[in-house]
Structure 1
Amino acid sequence: MSQQVKQEGFSSKFAHIMTLAGFCIGISNMWKFPYMVGANGGGIFLLIYLVCAVLVGLPLFILEQQLGRSATLAGVPGMAKLSNKSKFWTFGAGWLGLITVMLIACYFWTILGWNVGYIFKTASGALYGLGTDNAAVAAEFSSFSGSWGCVFAALLCAILAWFMLNTGFKQGVEKLCTYALPTLMVLLVGLAIYSNMLPGANAGLKWYLTPNFEGVDIPAAFQAAVVQVFFSVGVGMACAFVYGSYMSKKDNLMQDSCIAVCCDTFVAFMSGMVVTPALFAFGIEPSAGPGLIFISLPQIFNAMGNIPGRIFGTLYLIAVFLACLTSIVAVLEAGVANLGQRYGWSRRKTTTLVTFVTFGISVLVTRNMAPEGALSGMTFLGDFGLFDTLDCLASGFGLTFGALFMLLFVLFKYGFPRFMEEANWGAGDKLRLRPWMKWYYMIPLPIFLVATAICIIGMYF
């Protein structure tokens, strides 16, 4: 098997952790988490999410990374190696992850187009004239979300990502995360302080931090939290496998995984700390849904006044952009590593192909949202637009079943004792997988995943 995309590595411990955290931290933390909190009861969803991050996200994150480190290859060639070329396991724990990550990239560009377009709209004051009129702000987003302007904004991001990937892993992906992640965290802390000083913000802070079961569909909140953890931490989508393959046996995978998941959870938590108090301060409904950042938040920015609102809004959207950029580059890196190693293609060829194909499909996704045109209003899987269809297939099914396949592979093919021994390479004396943990991987974790899959199937069909 030719491997023209060479095996990469990390230049330093800090760069390794930042890169690992960078692929976890993304649009799911900044765009999806705040509206999921709003749609699922505030503090109770936050509590369920934190529990799921520890009990579901972290164990699976460790598992997927260790498979990558053991194989020293990306998911598709790596699973072929670990499973002695079993087509069943190579597809279920390899190709399925690659397909999922490619589907995510296809609509990720559209979100980046929204994000970049709204950075310019907010900074220039173009949205300020709309005031706090929900209908006017919603109409503006509806007009832009499927426009050629959005496609152009996404194209700029695609070109930037292509250049970063083509400079090589260390000079491109790693360096981006090393600088972008600390900047993002500083921005979020500053914005959270400002948001919580707004008049009326205390009510939002209390709602966000206080678990309240009243009126909350707990099974639905649990299902939403597990899927959000999968999407946020990045399990079941080939990324953790690839980044694990870049680690050496001397790296403390257990410790580094815990730090990366903590960083990811911190960014999600701080994003809620920025958004939720501000929503309550200006009387905006927290359960606004997917349009929260681009419909509800602009109203908050406008209510703050012209200059303060433009500064706050622009900084927040820049923070979103930094998270999205590190995430999309990591997503593409998974595609580049898998296809390049599997077919022996050069890095430049593979990067160009992955970027071109995913961006090309994203144009269709974006134009499907346009009020008019050949693709406008087309539906798939019932009443879903192309964006929701891809999100359903990738986030709903791909991540869940990809994680389940990898877990079953370790339990019934690879063997937990072997996995535990290899996961403890480079680990200290205290933070290690222990033999008693086998029962958790064999019973509670599969039950969590199967229950989630059942909930997802029931929700979509």
Structure 2
Amino acid sequence: MQAARWSSQAGFLLATVGAAVGLGNIWRFSAVVGQNGGGAYLIPYLIAAFLCAVPMLILELSIGRRLRTDVVSAFRSVKVEYTPLGWLILGGVLLILSYYLVLTGWVLGFFLSWLAGSQTTFESFTASWLPIGYFVVATVVTGGVVSMGVRGGIERMAKVVMPTVFALLIALALYAVTLAEWDRAAVFLFTPDFSVLTDLGIWSAAFGQVFFSLSVGQGIMLTYGSYVEEGADLFKSSFVITIADIAAALVAGLVIFPIVFSFGLQPTLGTELAFTTLPTAFATMPFGRIVAVGFFGLLFFAALSSAVALLEVGVAAAESTTRLSRPRATLFLTGGVFVAGIPSALSYSPINLAVAGRPILDLVDESVGTFALPISALLIVFVFVWATDIETVHEELGQFYPVVRYLIPVVLVVITTARTVGIARPAWRLIVDHTRNGPLGLLVTAVLLLAFAILGWELRDRL
């Protein structure tokens, strides 16, 4: 049993929104939108968010509240033989955290560089030992927050960080409105292209982005749900979290694309977007240094809140399954994550640590980062929906139950298969082909649109 609880509904929402809003919203969303044709991507993205991410949010939060335990113990409570599946999910989460903290360190480094007026470039940054130093700082800060507990650390941080994130987003968006190509950026972001709905790659990218962005399928929301009071409405809370997450992504797009278009740049993916494309614009635009400080500060706070959530999954499990106190469990896991992340950190450093010419960070992202999330989500659905039927969880899901039981597993299998055969768009790399998938893509579109329409009746009744 977990004794910890959120102090209030507001604290719970701020913490869960903090877990959801991270680099996936501000950096990755704009990158994936840029690759997939702007507004053409929004329809699949919104359908994916409300059709699949919301039910998964409800599922994980309700499991956590019902069982009041961590992800490993939750699997054990269903059947002892399922315990290794919980450890498998936990291992994937910690491996993702190991390189996520490297990225968090990069963002922190650029924030401090622009704050000091040095305006570093990615090439000069990674040619030094600074990425290692900032990786250490990001790891220590994350561990420090988690060690202070649910209320004293995670919730207290969320109450400061999340209002700051949204304030910075709004301030940067207001500045972007003054740029010459704001209208073009808005058209690019919000003009739909229905012809691409037969492209299976678009759908796969949208579902992958939504699951990544909302932190579902990783045990984060299950862990956070174990701290929720009984009276909280998980259905409405899940919609609040989803809407906040989508809003952060869209506002970030209205910040990034006006800058990109106004200075004749291209909305490329990955490190190029955040660390090369945008800094080029910051260096020449009016008030560029102030905008850069705000942007990289925004990225760091968002990344930190997500990193804290990832580490909390492990610390909660260590506390529950061992005799370690929270400070000791945090120290042990933070140290383990740091060691696991060293190869990724060294891959963008003077050592240029690589395998067959590929940086270790890229290899970890392409393997663990690509496949851990859909596999973990499948395991959660299999164990807590197919292998057992927890009455209170079933009641929380309502008419979303068939979606979780039947549709989401199919979607996750399709995503995993598409990524395996190379149809899906990867997370941090640039792929320029947009192969259409004809009848298969059209079938996917028809099924999802029909399910989305049917579930509209459920939303009308419950919201």
Q: How far apart are the structure 2 equivalents of 1:241 and 1:185? A: 25
State the partner residue of 1:406.
Answer: 380
Equivalent position to 2:133, from 143, 146, 152: 152
Equivalent residue runs for 1:372-391 within 5 Å: 372-373=350-351, 376-379=353-356, 384-391=358-365
Deviations 1:142-188 (A, max 9, x none): 34236421111222222222222222210111010012111111110
Q: How far apart are the structure 1 equivalents of 2:187 and 2:307? A: 33
State the partner residue of 2:33.
Answer: 37
State the partner residue of 1:324.
Answer: 303
* CA-based RMSD: 2.1
Equivalent residue runs for 1:87-236 within 5 Å: 87=81, 89-92=82-85, 94-127=86-119, 140-145=121-126, 147-212=128-193, 218-236=199-217
**Aligned partners of 2:122 and 2:275 also within 8 Å:** yes
1:442: how far off? 3.0
Equivalent position to 2:57, from 54, 58, 61: 61
State the partner residue of 1:426.
Answer: none
State the partner residue of 1:300.
Answer: 281
Letter in 2 for 1:459: G
1:25: how far off? 1.0
Equivalent residue runs for 1:233-272 within 5 Å: 233-272=214-253
**Aligned partners of 2:42 and 2:190 also within 8 Å:** yes
Q: How far apart are the structure 1 equivalents of 2:116 and 2:141? A: 23
**Aligned partners of 1:100 and 1:394 also within 8 Å:** yes
Q: How far apart are the structure 2 equivalents of 1:310 and 1:185? A: 20
Q: Which moved more, 1:256-265 or 1:410-419?
A: 410-419
Deviations 1:265-284 (A, max 9, x none): 11111111110121111111
Q: How far apart are the structure 2 equivalents of 1:368 and 1:279? A: 28
**Aligned partners of 1:7 and 1:73 also within 8 Å:** no
**Aligned partners of 2:75 and 2:383 also within 8 Å:** no
Equivalent position to 1:359, from 319, 333, 338: 338
Letter in 2 for 1:177: A
SS of residue paired to 2:283: helix
**Aligned partners of 1:119 and 1:314 also within 8 Å:** yes
Deviations 1:305-335 (A, max 9, x none): 4xx0000110111111111111111111111
| Structure 1 residues 248 and 224: CA distance shift in structure 2, 3 A | same
**Aligned partners of 2:66 and 2:392 also within 8 Å:** no
**Aligned partners of 2:30 and 2:256 also within 8 Å:** yes
Q: How far apart are the structure 1 equivalents of 2:409 and 2:186? A: 35
**Aligned partners of 1:114 and 1:145 also within 8 Å:** no
1:13: how far off? 1.3
Q: How far apart are the structure 2 equivalents of 1:293 and 1:216? A: 28
- Number of residue-to-residue matches in the alignment: 424
Letter in 1 for 2:378: L
**Aligned partners of 2:111 and 2:296 also within 8 Å:** yes
SS of residue paired to 2:193: coil
**Aligned partners of 2:207 and 2:415 also within 8 Å:** yes
Letter in 1 for 2:57: F
Where in structure 2 are there 5+ consecutive unaligned residues? Answer: 425-463
**Aligned partners of 2:98 and 2:337 also within 8 Å:** yes
**Aligned partners of 2:212 and 2:373 also within 8 Å:** yes
1:293: how far off? 0.8
State the partner residue of 2:288.
Answer: 309
**Aligned partners of 1:231 and 1:395 also within 8 Å:** no
| Structure 1 residues 159 and 288: CA distance shift in structure 2, 3 A | closer
**Aligned partners of 1:278 and 1:300 also within 8 Å:** yes
1:408: how far off? 2.0
The answer to whether structure 1 residue 27 and structure 2 residue 1 are counterparts is: no
Q: How far apart are the structure 2 equivalents of 1:46 and 1:303? A: 31
1:384: how far off? 4.3
State the partner residue of 2:268.
Answer: 287
| Structure 1 residues 215 and 445: CA distance shift in structure 2, 3 A | closer
Letter in 2 for 1:14: A
**Superposition TM-score, scaled by structure 1 size:** 0.87
**Superposition TM-score, scaled by structure 2 size:** 0.86
Q: How far apart are the structure 1 equivalents of 2:196 and 2:266? A: 16
**Aligned partners of 2:6 and 2:229 also within 8 Å:** no
Q: Which moved more, 1:274-283 or 1:216-225?
A: 216-225
Q: Which moved more, 1:117-126 or 1:57-66?
A: 117-126
Letter in 2 for 1:104: I
Deviations 1:91-128 (A, max 9, x none): 33x2232112101111011111111111122223322x
**Aligned partners of 1:369 and 1:377 also within 8 Å:** no
| Structure 1 residues 443 and 158: CA distance shift in structure 2, 3 A | closer
Q: How far apart are the structure 1 equivalents of 2:422 and 2:289? A: 38
State the partner residue of 2:79.
Answer: 84
**Aligned partners of 1:56 and 1:445 also within 8 Å:** yes
SS of residue paired to 2:354: coil
1:449: how far off? 1.4
Where in structure 1 are there 5+ consecutive unaligned residues? Answer: 128-136, 424-432
Residue identity (%): 28
1:441: how far off? 2.6
1:53: how far off? 0.9
